[in-house]
């Protein structure tokens, strides 16, 4: 399993002597499902502004708990509204800075060497897989979304989630769930479509859930009021919502929410 909880320095650069008084470091806590897109965006922003961007990549629940324990982040990007709500209710967000940034959808995936096949989610309990890899369904956004989806699909007098929950392998974040599928042919998983796209060739798509048929998935963005570089944090969130940030997110398969 892979769980990104240590800040990653994605760029280190500096301006000339005329900009010595400008803030040069920004701390961004971002959901693991954003890994590829936010790493690219942070590096581009860093080159453009001449600053260092530190990314802490993990599940939104892990990041929110870190912020609640010690609010040192400048920007928080959450894959679930529940955990952004928790930070906001603690009074840690800059008023008016929270916005719904991106949308996504769900995908059921399998190891490329497996023989599993389904025409719809109602057939999932019939597959002979050993484990269903999802985020922890009690806390991790991808697990919460997966449980909501599969609980809505009728099966044998109950629902698909009830039929497969005994085989669930809870992961600390969506990338860890994806890694389980990549590593074993007897594992299937529920991940975001963007994560499937990033691993195409290493996993196989069994079923793509249209966004309008599944749970509403929202990646939200906000600034922390404890930030020591509020101007730089505001620049970064504006960049993510601007034309370059939008292009990066669209290229990685996200829906940009207006």
Q: So what's the pLDDT on residue 19?
A: 41
Check if the beta carbon of residue 109 is closer than 8 Å to that of residue 188. Answer: yes
Q: Which fold has domain 106-213?
A: D-Maltodextrin-Binding Protein; domain 2 (3.40.190)
Strand partners, 155: 158
Closest CA to 172 of 210, 143, 211, 200: 143
Question: From CA 87, how far away is CA 68, in angstroms rounded?
Answer: 7
Q: How confident is the model at residue 25 (pLDDT cuts 50, 70, 90)?
A: very high
Residue range 56-62: mean pLDDT, rounded: 98
Convert the pLDDT of each residue in 72-121 to its tens digit: 999 999 999 999 999 999 999 999 999 999 999 999 999 999 999 999 99
Q: How confident is the model at residue 21 (pLDDT cuts 50, 70, 90)?
A: low
SS (H, E, C) 206-230: EEECCHHHCCCCEEEEEEECCCCCH
- Does the pLDDT value for residue 129 go beyond 80? yes
Q: Write out the two tokens for 128.
A: 């002979």
Question: From CA 83, how far away is CA 78, in angstroms rounded?
Answer: 7
- Does the pLDDT value for residue 141 go beyond 50? yes
Convert the pLDDT of each residue in 165-188 to its tens digit: 999 999 999 999 999 999 999 999
Look up the pTM and report it: 0.90
- Does the pLDDT value for residue 133 go beyond 90? yes
Q: How confident is the model at residue 23 (pLDDT cuts 50, 70, 90)?
A: low
Q: Which fold has domain 8-103+217-256?
A: D-Maltodextrin-Binding Protein; domain 2 (3.40.190)
Domain ranges for the chain, please list them: 8-103+217-256, 106-213
Q: Do domains 8-103+217-256 and 106-213 have the same CATH topology?
A: yes
């Amino acid at each position: 399993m892979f769980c990104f909880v240590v800040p990653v320095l994605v760029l280190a650069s500096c301006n000339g002597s005329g900009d010595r008084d400008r803030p040069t470091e920004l701390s961004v806590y971002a959901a693991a499902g954003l890994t590829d897109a936010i790493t690219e965006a942070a590096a581009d922003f860093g080159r453009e502004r001449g600053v260092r961007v530190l990314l802490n990549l993990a599940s939104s629940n892990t990041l929110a708990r870190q912020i609640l324990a010690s609010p040192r982040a400048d920007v928080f990007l959450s894959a679930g509204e529940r955990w952004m709500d928790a930070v906001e209710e603690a009074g840690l967000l800059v008023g008016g800075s929270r916005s719904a940034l991106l949308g996504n959808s769900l995908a059921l995936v399998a190891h490329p060497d497996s023989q599993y096949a389904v025409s719809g989610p109602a057939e999932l309990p019939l597959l002979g897989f050993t484990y269903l890899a999802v985020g922890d369904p009690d806390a991790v956004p991808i697990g919460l979304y997966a449980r909501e989806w599969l609980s809505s699909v009728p099966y044998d007098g109950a629902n698909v989630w009830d039929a497969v929950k005994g085989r669930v392998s809870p992961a600390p974040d969506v990338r860890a769930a994806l890694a389980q599928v990549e590593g074993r042919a007897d594992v299937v998983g529920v991940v975001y479509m963007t994560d499937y796209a990033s691993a195409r060739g290493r996993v196989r798509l069994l079923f793509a859930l249209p966004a309008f048929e599944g749970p509403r998935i929202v990646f939200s963005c906000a600034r922390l009021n404890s930030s020591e570089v509020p101007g730089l944090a505001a620049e970064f969130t504006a960049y993510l919502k601007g034309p370059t940030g939008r292009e990066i997110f669209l290229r990685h398969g996200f829906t940009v929410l207006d």
